[in-house]
Each structure stands twice: as C-alpha cells, then as structure tokens.
A and B are shown apart, each in its own frame.
Chain A
Amino acid sequence: MINFFNYMNISVVLFLISVLGIFLNQRNILVMLMSLEMMFLSVSFNLIFLSMYLDDIIGQIFSLLILTVAASESSIGLAILVIYYRIRNTITVELMNLMKG
C-alpha cells in the first residue's frame, strides 16, 4: 500500500532542498534555475500523488499544465540569461547589483 507520509515527505523534502538551493546559492544563477525546476518538479509530484490518493484526475491535469509552464518558463529564463550574458559577459549572481532601492 502507498505510504501517505513517505510520499508527502519526499515531495516536501524535495521542495525544501530546492528552496535551500536558491537560498544558499550565492554565485551561480544556473543552479538557481535548476532549483526552480526542482521546485516545479516537487510540486507536480505532490499534485500527482494527491490525485492518486484522492482518486481525482484534476491533479494530474494540473501537473501537465505545470510541466508546460515550467518548460516555457525555463526556456524564457535561459533566453534572458543568454541576453544578459551577451551584455555583461558574466552570469555571476553577486555582480547583479545595479538596481538598488
């Protein structure tokens, strides 16, 4: 039988790891993008699990939509990154401080 807590734990731990990946990362923006992808993954994982658990199709539909959104988001993000690199010749996060409050 599917263990409820195991599956929930997996998705939550995955989410937390990705949050920490964004949070602790000081340098590399690619890692941040990857963490973001992982966040999407954990969320869609959670949705799929809950649709199975609750015997409801809507969660899976949502996860498919999220997959689409994540793909487009990462492509746009990478495009922005490429443009940024073309202008600044670097993608180091620490140097992205031109906009101050």
Chain B
Amino acid sequence: MYLTILFLPLVGSLISGLGGRWLGCWGSGLYSTLCVFFSFLMSLVAFYEVGLCGVSYHITLGTWLESGILKVNWGFLFDSITVVMLIVITSVSSLVHLYSIKYMETDPHKPRFMAYLEIFTFFMLLLVTADNLIQMFLGWEGVGLASYLLINFWFTRLPANQSAIKALVINRIGDFGLTLGILATFWTFQSTDYSVIFAMAPLLDSFSFFFMGSDWHGITLISLFLFIGAIGKSAQLGLHTWLPDAMEGPTPVSALIHAATMVTAGVFLMIRCSLLLEFSPAILCILLVLGSLTAFFAGMTGIFQNDLKKVIAYSTCSQLGYMIFSCGLSCYEVSLFHLTNHAFFKALLFLSAGSVIHAVSNEQDMRRMGSLVSFLPITYSLMLIGSLSLAGFPFLTGFYSKDFILELTQILNYKNLNFFYISLSFWLGSVSVFFTSFYSFRLIYLTFLNNSNLTRPLIISVHESPALMLLPLTILALGSLFFGYLSKDLFIGLGTDFWKGSILVLPVNNFFVEAEWLLIISKWLPFILTIIGVFIASIINITSLYKYFVYQIYGLNSFLAFLVNKKWFIDVLYNRFLIFPLLNFGYNTTFKALDRGFIEFSGPLGASMFIPNWSKIISRFQSGLLTHYVFFLIIGVCFLFLILIYKNLMFNTNLNILSIFFILIFYI
C-alpha cells in the first residue's frame, strides 16, 4: 500500500499522457484525478498508521548504485515528516486535479496537462519518501523538470517559455549547491542514507574539510550547501526571482507549485536534515536571517503589485521565509505545521484567484476588476477565508502556525543565536505580518469591493464558476478554517510524541516551551499588527483617500512605491550586472575569443593558414637566380658541418644558441 501511494500518480501520469488520445479530455482528467485521489486515501491510512499508531515503515526495493563503499538503494522511508508531507501533497494535488478538469476544459492539450500535474505529484512524493539523499535528489530534479513543463505548458507564449527557463535555471543554481552538499555528505559520512548520516552526525561533529589552506567545519559546510539548494527551491532571498515569474503557467499549476509541492521541497529538506542542522549553529543563524529577510522583502513587494497572481506569489515567498526562519529557531515542527497550513490556504487563494480570472475572461490586473462581490459571492467568501487565514486571523488555520512562529522569535534567551539576529527576525517578521494583512485586504478590496473598473462586455460575461471548480475550493476552505485548530495539539502541542525520531532538536536549542509564558502584550502584537493592516487597507480603499493614494503613493511621485512595484529592481540588477555580463562573457570571451579565436587560431584554422603562407615564403627562396642557389648550397653544407661538429654538444647550452641561429636563418 505504501508503494501504491507513490506509484499510482506515476501510472496515472503515464496512462493519461501516453494514452490521452484515447482517453480524451474528460477521460484523462477523471482518470488522473482518481489516481491521485486514491493515493490521497491511502496516504490518510499511512498517516493514521505512521503518525497516530506510531509504526514506521522503511521499504527497500533493491540496489540502485553500488560502487565501492557507495551503495544507494531504492529505499522508501515513511516516518512522521513524510506522512505529513504525503497528506499535504496528495490532498492539494487531488483537489488541484479536480479543479483543473473544469478549469482546463477548453484547452486542447488537457491530457498533457494532466500528465504533467500527475508526474509533478509523483516526483514530489519520490522526494519526500526517499530514504537517501541521492534518491531525494532524483525527486528534486524531477520536480524542477515538471515545473518547467508546467510553467511552459502554453509553449507558444514567449513569456511562458522565458519564465520556464528562468525557473529551471535558477533552480539549477540551487541544485548545484545541493549536489555539492550530497558530495560533501558522502565525503564525510561515506554514505548518503539518512539513517547513517543522522546517526553519525553527533559523532562526526568535529570532522572538518581542509580546503584552501584552512579548516572548514564539515557539518556546517554540508548544511550550507543543502541550504543553498533550499534557497533555490524555496525561493529565498537571492534566488527568489523565478517564483513570481512562474505565474505564467495556468493557475492550477501555480496552486500546485506554490502551495503544496515545489516550494515546500526546500523547507522539507531543512526539516528532514534537522538532525544535521542542529550541529551547526552558524547555519541556524543564516537560516534565521535569510528567512526573515525573505519574509520582509516579499511582504513589502507584495503590497504594490497589481497582478492578482503576483500578489499571492509574493505572499508565498513571504510565508516560505517564515518557515525557513522558524527552522533557524530550531522549531522544525512549527515550520512543518506552517507548511501544512500554508498549503491549504495558499491553494485556496490560488484556486480562488483562478476562479476570478476565469470569471473575468483571463484578466489578471487587479486595477481592472472591482465589484466582483455581487457577481461572485461564493468565490468572494472563499477568498476572504483564505485571506483571513493567511493574515493570521484568530482561530483560523494561519493563526495557529504563524502567530506561534512570531511568538517563538520573541523568546530572547536562545543560547546559540545572537540576540541581534533574534530581534532582527522578530521585527522583520512582525512587520511582514502587517504587510501580509495589508496586501491580502488590498487584494480583496481591489478585486471584490471597490467600484468596478471592468468593461461592459466583461461585466455581462462575468459568471460564477461551475460547481466542479467550487467543490475543491470549498474543501480547501474547510481545511483553511479548521485544520489548524484540529491538528495544533498533534503537531506542536506541548510534549507531543507525534514526530518521534524524525526531528531532532538539541536540548540546548530547545526553547519551545518558553513561548507559552510570554507576556500577554507580546502575544497580542501580531494580531494588533494584522488589524492595523486591515484597517489601513480599508481606510485607503473605502474612503476617498484611495484616490489620493492612487496619485500620491501608487503614482510615480513616490519613488518608494515605484521601487517596490518594480520588485526592488532585483531582477534589473541581476539582468544588468550578472546575466548580461555573463552572456557577454559567454559570447565575446569564451565563444568569440577562446573557442573561435584562440583555439581555432592555434588549431585547425591556424594550421591551414600557417602552412600555405610559410610554404609560399619558403618557395620564394627559389628565386631562379643561380647565385642564390649557390649561396644556399654552400650555407647548407656549412650547416651540415656545423651539425657534425656540434653533434655531441647538441643537448647542452649551445643548443639554445644553435637553435636561435637556425630560427633566425629560417626567418631570413
């Protein structure tokens, strides 16, 4: 049964992809949805058995690679982290499948779409169930590939091609780090199996690499490389630029990539490697700082975006920052809890956005929507649930994980982390709570509540989505409402034994309990900031201040708003100072100067030019004049004698003088 969870999506993908011609539009949709749905049902059973009953499965199918001491098995490990991820992936994926049956109804390539979605799910499942780093890497790369295929689904569109290439290439940068991490792991532990690595991590704490004349702490280096992989995949600051551009794919793809599968892989890797990260305080600090910076940056950028999907994309980026920095605080279970909750409300938000976009004939600009509440009441209420949950409104799902992460940052007596970094992450995290609620409600207002900016033909054609699209939305909304409350005690309750051995927090890093005894005012702080965000968004949008803000803040007058709307010009900076120089270097230096220049010139082209030239020059010696012939004759005889005389001296210092003499003669 456990392997069926994994291989049902693969089978579904192959059949709906290769046999889509015979299954047809509805057939492939239903078939693939059913495959994932049964996989979901079985992962519920797995969750019950592994998570609640406390068994743990470790299945080995056979040997994959065996060379010397390297042995990689096809192994599948089902522990607590895996089953939680299984639930997240299969549930969101099956709802997305169900949603796309109707959403992609008119698309001529629907079997292909379904096959890609399904293979995406399969690779993600392979990623989370792997019992060694190399098999995990297979899933990791497979997810990247599937994201390329999905973002590029409408392959005739140029932006889709560009975004897909961008997503793939930027992910590849992170993958390179991950590869180095795997190699370093093998160098250190002589194995890539999780069981070996995590068992040996405390013992090899003093292992260090000798590189570039200095010692590098082995586990810190490994964790750093693994984290570079996570930066790429989870779109942390620095390699985040692919995520907003990945919006070029169809909306269900965005929901799948952003909510449940792809971006969570990096966080999953961090959580999985908790037993490794715990032994390197420096990496925890990097996680903390980079995660909080990402949360802040993406939250701030989300405020001034005008594209419906990009706002939600930046909120994903921001929430991933929360997950990463909660890993940095050694609260991996909270991170996974937030990941789970986030999957529900983010999938809800994306699919509702898809519903809105579907209703207004593929218009994505929020400034050209408005008043949709009277046309799409169900979508409005679902999206409101999603937004409230995202903003951390009390007693919704987001509240239980996000506010808890913020409370964790307020504990000031972490031994392993610098006080400065803790307070930095606290402030950045808190401010991004404000940003989160602000842009969520800005989205709600601009899309649903403000005066309509739709054109008349569009207004006539606005319609509520069909039931087949609203059904998955409703299920996700129920998840966003209740999941946090229901699973809080299971995931992050005090003394919960749900995680068993799958997550390790060193006792010296564990300040989990302290969060329960914070001052009441600090516990209220995130909520107050949320309310302020909602309040400001409402004031700006309801009153006539809106128009003032349109001209004063959204307009070009405010440089800051312009800067934020352009995503802090990070893309421009990358393009101008990294990508164009690299491309120029590639074309001018390596291609033109080296490949076609130096190597060609010293190789085939040079030889083919050199030989005729010099043969022409040498044949010019035969001038036809008898005296010249005599001259060369005698010179030649002289040289013959010289060689005979110096024969014994050829290999000492005289050689140089002689050879210079010869070369000079040659040039004459």
Residues of A within 8 A of B (CB): 19, 22-23, 25-26, 29, 32, 93-94, 96-101
Contacts and interface: CB of A to CB of B under 8 A. Distances in A.
B636 to A, nearest CB: 13
Nearest to B631: A23
A93 B626 contact: yes
B194 to A, nearest CB: 77
Contact of B620 (A94, A98, A99, A101): A101
Given A93-B626, A96-B626, A19 B621 contact: no
Given A99-B624, A101-B621, 13 more contacts: A19-B634, A22-B634, A25-B627, A32-B630, A93-B625, A93-B627, A94-B625, A96-B624, A97-B623, A99-B622, A100-B622, A101-B623, A101-B624
Interface of B: 619-627, 630-631, 634
A101 B620 CA distance: 6
Given A19-B634, A23-B634, A100 B624 contact: yes
A23 B630 contact: yes
A32 B631 CA distance: 13
Nearest to A29: B626
B617 to A, nearest CB: 11
A26 B625 CA distance: 10
A1 B272 CA distance: 109
Nearest to A96: B626
Nearest to A93: B626
Contacts of B630: 22-23, 32
A87 B619 CA distance: 27
B119 to A, nearest CB: 71
B619 A97 contact: no
Contacts of A96: 624-626
Contacts of B620: 101
Contacts of A19: 634
Contact of B624 (A25, A29, A32, A97): A97
A32 B634 CA distance: 14
Contacts of A99: 622, 624
B622 A26 contact: no
B621 to A, nearest CB: 7
Contacts of B625: 93-94, 96-97
Contacts of A25: 627
B631 A100 contact: no
A100 B627 CA distance: 13
The 3 closest A-B pairs by CB, nearest first: A101-B622, A97-B624, A100-B624
